[in-house]
Amino acid sequence: MIDPSLVGRSLSPVTAHVEPGRLRYFRETLGETNPVYGDARAAQAAGYAATPVPPTYLFCLEMMDAEQAFEFITVIGVDIGRLLHGEQRFTYRAPVVVGDTLKFQPRIVSVADKKGGAMTLVGIETKVTNQNGTHVADVSRTVVVLNPKTA
């Protein structure tokens, strides 16, 4: 069982850089060909200062630049093989573009046992700000921990 007193606990902040080469690799992996993401002029025509990140890329930036990508697993004390991703949400407040430096501030917001203890849902919310202090996004995920069967 996961300690419910972890609710409210902050995890280590992460500083991440939106680098064009890593972003190109991400786009190529997903077969993303929308010019707004790959062509600075198309991005500017859409109103961006530079090419923006695709809708889910904030999730990746936080993991790539974290000193411990799975810090929360250590904090909640479970094996990575027992995790599933339950839910994911992005709320977009301001553009994120190539060249930005972002700060991610994650914290544990919920711990709830389900199905008679067979699984535990852990909620993590992350506030994202940029180099100007602008609050650009909120990222929220729910992780499913499959608990070992008790004989």
Partner 1 sequence: MSTAVKAQPAIGDRLVHKVFPPISRHTLALYCGASGDHNPIHVDLDFARAAGYPDVFTHGMLVMGYLGQALTDAVPPPRLRMFSTRFVAITQLGARLTCEGHVAEFVEHDGERCAKLALTTKDENGDLKLAGEAVIAL
Single residue of 8, 55, 116, 133 touching partner 1 by CB under 8 A = 55
- In angstroms, the Cα distances linking 136 to 76, 102, 103, 133, 139 are 28, 9, 10, 9, 10
The answer to whether 151 and 144 have CB atoms below 8 angstroms apart is no
61 binds partner 1 (CB under 8 A): yes
Minimum distance from CB of 2 to partner 1 (Å)? 18
Taking the C-alpha atoms of residue 84 and residue 16, their distance in angstroms, rounded to an integer, is 25
Single residue of 2, 11, 18, 52 touching partner 1 by CB under 8 A = 52
Query: Interface mask (CB under 8 A) for partner 1, residues 89-118, using x and -?
Result: xxxx--x-----------------------
Helix, strand, or coil (residue 111): strand
The smaller minimum CB distance to partner 1, of residues 5 and 85, is found at: 85
The answer to whether 126 and 109 have CB atoms below 8 angstroms apart is no
Residues lying near partner 1 in the complex (CB under 8 A) are found at: 22, 25-26, 28-32, 34, 36-37, 46-48, 52, 54-56, 59-66, 69-70, 80-92, 95, 140
